[in-house]
Structure 1
Amino acid sequence: MELYIDYDNGLGEQSLSSLLPFFEPLSFTPESPGIERETTNIPRINGVVLPQHPRDVKYTERKISVEIYLNSVIAENFYQYRRELYAVLVKPFPYYISTDLLPNLRFRVTCDGNFSIPKEKEKNHVSFTVEFNNFTGLAESKFTSLTKQNFHGEYWSPGMNIQMHDNLEYVFKNRKRFQVYNTGDAFINPMQHDYNVTLRASGKNVTIINHTNGERLKIEQELKKSQPVTFIKQYTVINNKPVKTSGRLPGLDIGSNDFEMQNTDDFEITFDTRFYYA
C-alpha cells in the first residue's frame, strides 16, 4: 500500500515513499465513524425518542491508525530517518492523508505525535503505529461535483455511491426547478464544508429554495447578471462585500435535493462541492 500526504499548500499529494524511501506503510485503519445524537425520554413511550432530524446528527472525531515499517539498513541511519519522519508527520497545522486502498477519498487530519519508534539493540528495522486524528469525522471526495461521476476515469471509485447514470447536473441556467444530487453519506453544510455556489442573476429579491430540507436564502437587493454572487459560510458576497440577505444558502441533504429559483428569469447557478463519506 501507499500513504499520500497533502499539506494543502498547492503542491498536491506526495507519497511517503517518495518523501522518505526507507519507510513503508503496512496498514491504514480508520476507526468507525462516530455519531453524537440527542435523545429524550417521554412517559409511557418505550426506550428513548430521537428528536433530531438526521441532518442534525453530529459526526465526532475519530482516530486513523497507520502501521509503518522502517528499515534503515545500517544503525547510523536509524536515528536520522526517525527524526525525518517526525518532521514530516507532526505538524502544527491540519493536512490531508489518503491511501491507494481507498482511492479518491482523503481524510483531514492532525498528528500531534505521542508515538515512538524504538530501536532494538542490533536490529535496524522496526514496525510501529502512528495515530492521526480525523477531526472532521468524515472522509471527503478528492474531486468535486464538476467532475463527471462515472467509473470511466480515475476520479470516482466503488463505494462512493456513484449512480447508474453519469448525467447528473450541477450547473443550471434559467430553470426555475432543478435537482441537485448529494452523492455522499452526510449532509453538506455551507458553514463547514467545501461547498462553493456561484450565482449570476438579474432581478430583485432573488430567492434560492431547497424544498427538500426547507432552507432558503433571499438576496435583498437588485442583482445584475454581470456581478457574480458568491457565498462564504453565512455570508453572501458581491465584489468582496457582504450584501443584505434573509436566511442562508441552503445545504444539501443526502440524495436528491429539489431546488427552486424565485424572482429571476435570467440566471445561471453552479454547485461546485465535494462529497463527504462515513
Structure 2
Amino acid sequence: MIATRRPKLWVKFQSDITGIAESEIDIETIAPYLYFLGDSEVPALTNNYVSDRMQDGAKFSYAKYNLTNITANFYLKFTDWYSFRLAKHDFNSYFGRKGIYRIRTDTHKGIVRYVRVAALPDIEPAETEAHYALFSLVFENPQGLGKSLLTSNSLYTYSEEGWQLGMNFPNGVDLKYHYQNVSRFKIYNASDIDIDPYLQGHQLSVNYKFVGDRLTLRNKSTNTVYTLNYTSKGDDEILIDGIVTYINSSLATDKTNYGFFKLAAKSWNDFEVSEGELKEITFDFPFLYLPS
C-alpha cells in the first residue's frame, strides 16, 4: 500500500537545445499511478595533497566539493501490460532529454538542485505477473550543493515556498541586504559554506552608488578588500559581478584593486567603508547548502 502522505518532488526542465525552461511540475503528474518515494544524496568532499619525492608524507593543498549522485526512488502501479508500457514511455520521454532539471522536495521547499540524468532506469515489474514496479532514477549534481530557491535580495518576498526552517536563518532577526548612507553594515550569509566568487566561482552580485574620487570597502570578517579608483557624483550604476566590475554597464575592473568579497558561512560579515561616501548598496546571492 502507498501511504496517503508521501514525499513530493517538483521538477523544472530546461533544454540544452532550445534553452527554454518549462514550468515546474509535480513529478507524479507525468504518468498515471506514479509515486515518488523519496531521495538520497551524500556530500562529496575531497582533500587534495602535494607530495615531494624527498620528503615523507604529503602536504595538504586544498579541499573541494565534488559532483554528487542523487537517487530518486519511485513506485509505479499499472493494471495491464499496455498501461505499463505507456507509463514507462511517459517516464522515459520526460527524463530522457538533454538538459538541466531543477529539482526540489517538500522537505526542502526552499532549496533547489540543478541536475542532469545520469542514466535512465530499467523499469520492469517487481516480479512475474506483478502489477507494480519499483525503480530508481539517478541524477548527477555537478556542483555537489543545493541553492536557495530565492536569492538574498528576495527576503522581503518571504513565502512558505521560498524560505523555510533549517536554512540557518537567525531567529527573530530582520536580515537586510540593502543599505543607504552607511559607513558600516552587516551582511548575513546563511549558507553552509563560505561564498567565494574568486576561488570557487560562487554567484555574488553587489550593486552600489557612491560619492567621491575613490571607494574602499572591507569585509572585516574575512579580511577581503575592494577598492574602486573612480570619481563619481552618486549617479553612476556600479556592479561587482563576482570578481568583475562594471560602471554604467561598461567593463571597469582595471579601475579596481582586483579585489573581491568573500562571505563567511552561517555568520555575520562586518563591512566598513574607509574611503568615499557610500550612498546605496545591495548584495544579491543564493545561499548554498550541503546535501542532507
Q: What range is the shorter-chain TM-score in?
A: 0.7 to 0.9
Q: Which residue of structure 2 lines up, in the alignment, with residue 74 of structure 1?
A: 80
Q: Which residue does the alignment assign to 1:34?
A: 44
Aligned counterparts, 1:199-278, within 5 A: 199-245=208-254, 246-254=257-265, 255-278=267-290
Establish whether residue 123 from structure 1 lines up as the match of residue 133 from structure 2.
no
Does 2:190 align with 1:183? yes
Superposition deviation, residue 68 in structure 1: 0.7
1:104 to 101, 110, 121: 110
SS where residue 118 of structure 1 aligns?
Answer: coil
Match of 1:144 in 2: 151
Task: Give the aligned length.
Answer: 270
C-alpha separation in 2, matches of 1:231 and 1:185: 23
Aligned twin of 2:100: 94
Code of the aligned partner of 2:105: T
Please give the secondary structure, in 1, of the residue aligned with 2:150.
coil
- Aligned-residue sequence identity (percent) comes to 24
Is 1:86–1:113's contact at 8 Å kept on the other side of the alignment? no
Normalising by structure 1, report the TM-score: 0.84
CA-CA distance at 1:24 after TM superposition: 0.9
CA contact (8 A) 2:35 2:74 kept: yes
1:97 to partner: Cα distance: 0.7
Q: Contact conserved, 2:11 with 2:101, CA < 8 A, in 1? A: yes
TM-score by length of 2: 0.81
CA distance in 1, matches of 2:149, 2:117: 20
8 Å CA contact 2:32, 2:87 repeated in 1? no
Tell me the amino acid that sits aligned with residue 176 of structure 1: S
1:133 & 1:180 partners in 2: Cα distance?
32
8 A contact 1:216–1:247 mirrored in 2 = no
Distance 1:152 1:85, change over 3 A: closer
Does the aligned pair in 1 maintain the 2:207–2:237 contact within 8 Å?
A: yes
Contact 2:152 2:285 (C-alpha < 8 Å) held by counterparts: yes
Unmatched runs of 5 consecutive residues or more in structure 2? 1-6, 15-19
CA displacement at 1:6 relative to structure 2: 1.9
Letter in 1 for 2:47: R
Counterpart of 1:194, as a letter, is Q
Find the aligned partners of 2:82 and 2:99 in 1 and give their Cα distance.
31
CA distance in 1, matches of 2:97, 2:212: 48
Work out the CA distance in 2 between the residues paired with 1:243 and 1:74: 65
Q: CA deviation at 1:210?
A: 1.4
Residues 62, 229 of structure 1: alpha-carbon distance in 2 compared, 3 angstrom cutoff: same
Aligned-partner Cα distance in 2 for 1:217–1:142: 28
SS of equivalent to 1:115: coil
Uncovered stretches (5+) of structure 1, i.e. residues with no partner: none
1:149 CA displacement: 8.5
Match of 2:26 among 15, 26, 45: 15
CA 1:244–1:29 in structure 2 vs 1: closer, same or farther (change >3 Å)? closer
Q: Out of 132-141 and 87-96, give the one that drifted further.
A: 87-96
**Residue-by-residue CA offset, 1:96-133 (whole Å, 9 max, x unaligned):** 11111222111121113242212465334201000111
DSSP 3-state at the match of 2:281: strand
1:48–1:268 Cα change, 3 Å: same
Q: Shift in Å at residue 163 of structure 1? A: 0.7
CA contact (8 A) 2:208 2:239 kept: yes
* CA–CA distance in structure 2, aligned partners of residues 234 and 184 of structure 1: 19
Q: Is the 8 A contact 1:221 1:244 kept in 2?
A: no
Contact 1:148 1:166 in 2 (8 A): no
